[in-house]
């Protein structure tokens, strides 16, 4: 079995379920290997404080997260990134830099329709964004470029978390990062 690290890059709009899926994946992966989660909200507090929400700042945010993820993965850690990362180009750049470092990059798209995101929005961010009170809100006043061909797609509005976890784990097994399932 391959004990090299990897990057699981969970992308999707705010409220899609990236943090929920990352926690469930960490719980399942931790007994088998070293794993670390880089959650977008925590990263903005500690690693990318001061960056705003312009396109340039969001791209820089993804680059910084990608850099830390590569460093960890090069040392055998399975890294789960849970970040909106709304631009296709910045995700492709992070993937290319991971490949240069010989780190496996698995893009996981957490898809949910806007109405589902609005209905589960406990902070009221979508309501404020739709009312024009929050500028640069991804998916409302700023674009979200959905992955064209993600390695795994999780439809969080219509399937249980565990189904998504299993698909991601199957992708890691196929790449040799986890033990095969018992027969």
Tell me whether residue 149 is annotated as binding: no
Is 14 annotated as ligand-binding? yes
In sequence order, the β-bridge partners of residue 153 are 109
DSSP, collapsed to helix, strand or coil, labels residue 107 as strand
Q: Is 128 annotated as a binding residue?
A: no
Whether 12 has a binding-site annotation, put simply, is yes
Residue 149: active-site member: no
d(CA 174, CA 151): 11
Query: What are the C-alpha distances in Å from 50 to residues 58, 90, 109?
Result: 11, 19, 27
What does the alpha-carbon distance between residue 80 and residue 9 come to, in Å, rounded to a whole number?
6
Please list, in sequence order, all residues whose beta carbon lies within 8 angstroms of the beta carbon of residue 69, skipping any fewer than 6 positions away: 7, 9, 38, 79, 81, 94, 98, 103
Instruction: Check whether 90 is labelled as a binding-site residue.
Output: no
Catalytic residue among 22, 85, 90, 156: 85
Distance CA 156, CA 162 (A): 10
Annotated binding site for ATP: 12-19
Instruction: Give me the active site residues, please.
Output: 85
Binding site, annotated residues: 12-19
């Amino acid at each position: 079995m391959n004990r090299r690290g990897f990057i699981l890059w969970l992308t999707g709009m705010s409220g899609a379920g990236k943090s929920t899926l990352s926690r469930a994946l960490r719980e399942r992966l931790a007994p088998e290997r070293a794993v670390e989660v880089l959650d977008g909200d925590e990263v903005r507090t500690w690693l990318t404080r001061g960056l705003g929400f312009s396109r340039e700042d969001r791209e820089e945010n993804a680059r910084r997260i990608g850099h830390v993820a590569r460093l960890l993965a090069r040392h055998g850690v399975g890294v789960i990134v849970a970040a909106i990362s709304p631009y296709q180009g910045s995700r492709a750049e992070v993937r290319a830099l991971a490949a240069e470092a010989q780190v496996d990059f698995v893009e996981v798209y957490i898809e949910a329709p806007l109405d589902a995101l609005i209905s589960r929005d406990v902070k009221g961010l979508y309501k404020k964004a739709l009312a024009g009170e929050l500028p640069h809100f991804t998916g409302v006043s700023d674009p979200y470029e959905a992955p064209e061909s993600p390695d795994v797609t999780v439809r969080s509005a219509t399937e249980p978390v565990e189904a998504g976890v299993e698909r991601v784990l199957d992708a890691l097994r196929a790449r040799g990062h986890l033990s095969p399932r018992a027969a």
